[in-house]
Amino acid sequence: MKKLKRSGRLVDMTYYLINQPHQLVSLSYFAERYQSAKSSISEDLTIVKEIFETQGIGSLLTIPGASGGVKYVPGVDQEEGDRLTTKLCQALMNKERLLPGGYLYMMDILGNPQFMNDIGKLFAAVFANQRIDAILTVAMKGIPLAYAIGSHLNVPVSIVRRDHRVTEGSMVSINYVSGSTKRIQTMSLARRSLKEGANVLIVDDFMKAGGTARGMMDLLQEFKAEVVGIGVLVEAEDVEERLVDDYVSISRLAEVNEKEMQVHAVPGNILNKLNEVTKE
């Protein structure tokens, strides 16, 4: 790269860091990239750090020492978090989403790349202080959300399937009880898709009683993996028994009245979780 003026360095440096979240970048790398002294790079990073924090973009962590550098950690402030949860709740309350049986059509939400990217960043901000090696979700609807979160945490996504696929090689399968229907079902995960002992964040697009999430937790035991958290886009409220207790949700369905064609959604607990992380 040709030598850039400070204005050019700041733009390129910001772009680079945002696209490399949770990755340690040495000052030597930037010094060579911009053909500039480390002292100049340090001054540039101070400016970037200030803008990231004042604009709610995230934080820039400095790690001292010979093997140190800087690391961009995506963040979301309370105002942006409130905007995103409100936006999702409003979208869910469209009565045209109601399907027979009281189900909600959500594919337009899950299929919106920009909105999923924003939601993914919100989840990533809540779990920013956790050591996460992989995201785990069930095919198919949870995939867009899982990849959105994974892109901001800079970790891979593993996909649990309800069927066996020859192209995925050896599989680990378990039977689990669906929390809502009480039916016994099967879920499988390719052995090669997750390292043994990994720290895993479970992601689900919709949770009623939590049977699917509980099943994924049991499946992870076969990999000797550690569950560091559960992220849910939408949770149901009228549940007699929840099979999982500790989870983070964006929105909660307070009421779904198929007869009167009404849906009432309220924010989940993610804003409280975000506030806890901000105070740490």
157 and 262, same structural domain?
Answer: yes
Domain assignment present for 275 = yes
* Listed residues 52, 74, 96: the one ending a domain: 74
Identify any residues that bridge with 249 across adjacent strands, giving them in sequence order. Answer: 232
* Listed residues 51, 74, 97: the one ending a domain: 74
Average pLDDT, the chain: 93
Residue 86 has pLDDT above 80, yes or no: yes
Task: Specify the CATH number for the domain of residue 33.
Answer: 1.10.10.10
Distance of CA 71 to the CA centre of its chain: 18
Are 169 and 147 in contact, with CB atoms under 8 Å apart? no
**What mean pLDDT comes out for the span 209-221?**
95
Residue 71 is predicted with a pLDDT of 97
Residue 148 has pLDDT above 80, yes or no: yes
**In whole angstroms, what is the distance from residue 176 CA to residue 187 CA?**
8
82 and 70, same structural domain?
Answer: no
Q: How does residue 66 score in pLDDT terms, banded at 50, 70 and 90?
A: confident
> What range does the domain containing 30 cover?
6-74
114 and 54, same structural domain?
Answer: no
Residue 164 has pLDDT above 80, yes or no: no
34-40 contacts at long range (C-beta below 8 A, 24 or more positions apart): 34/1, 34/3, 34/4, 34/9, 35/1, 35/2, 35/3, 36/3, 36/9, 40/6
Residue 182 has pLDDT above 80, yes or no: no
50 and 166, same structural domain?
Answer: no
Which burial class, exposed, middle or buried, applies to 172 when counting CB atoms under 10 A from its CB (0-12, 13-18, 19+)? middle
Residue 32 is predicted with a pLDDT of 94
**What mean pLDDT comes out for the span 163-173?**
85
Residue 223 is predicted with a pLDDT of 97
Q: How does residue 180 score in pLDDT terms, banded at 50, 70 and 90?
A: low
Residue 153 has, within 13 A of its CA and on its CB side, a CA count of 28
Residue 139 has pLDDT above 70, yes or no: yes
**What mean pLDDT comes out for the span 102-109?**
92
Q: Which two tokens stand for residue 223?
A: 């990999």
Among 74, 66, 87, which Cα is nearest to 22's? 74
Residue 179 has pLDDT above 70, yes or no: no
Task: Specify the CATH number for the domain of residue 181.
Answer: 3.40.50.2020
- Antiparallel, parallel or unpaired: β 134-138 and 199-207: parallel
* Listed residues 56, 74, 92: the one ending a domain: 74
Residue 112 is predicted with a pLDDT of 97
Residue 151 has pLDDT above 80, yes or no: yes
Q: Which two tokens stand for residue 1?
A: 């790269």
Residue 124 is predicted with a pLDDT of 98
Residue 241 has pLDDT above 90, yes or no: no
Q: Per the structure, how many domains does the chain have?
A: 2
Residue 233 has pLDDT above 90, yes or no: yes
265 and 133, same structural domain?
Answer: yes
Among 8, 13, 22, 21, which Cα is nearest to 46's? 13
**Residue 36 main-chain phi, psi, to 5 deg:** -130, 160
Residue 268 has pLDDT above 90, yes or no: yes
Secondary structure of residue 12 in the 3-state scheme: helix
Domain assignment present for 1 = no
Domain assignment present for 241 = yes
Domain assignment present for 54 = yes
Domain assignment present for 194 = yes
Query: Does a cis peptide bond (omega within 30 degrees of 0) precede residue 140?
Result: yes
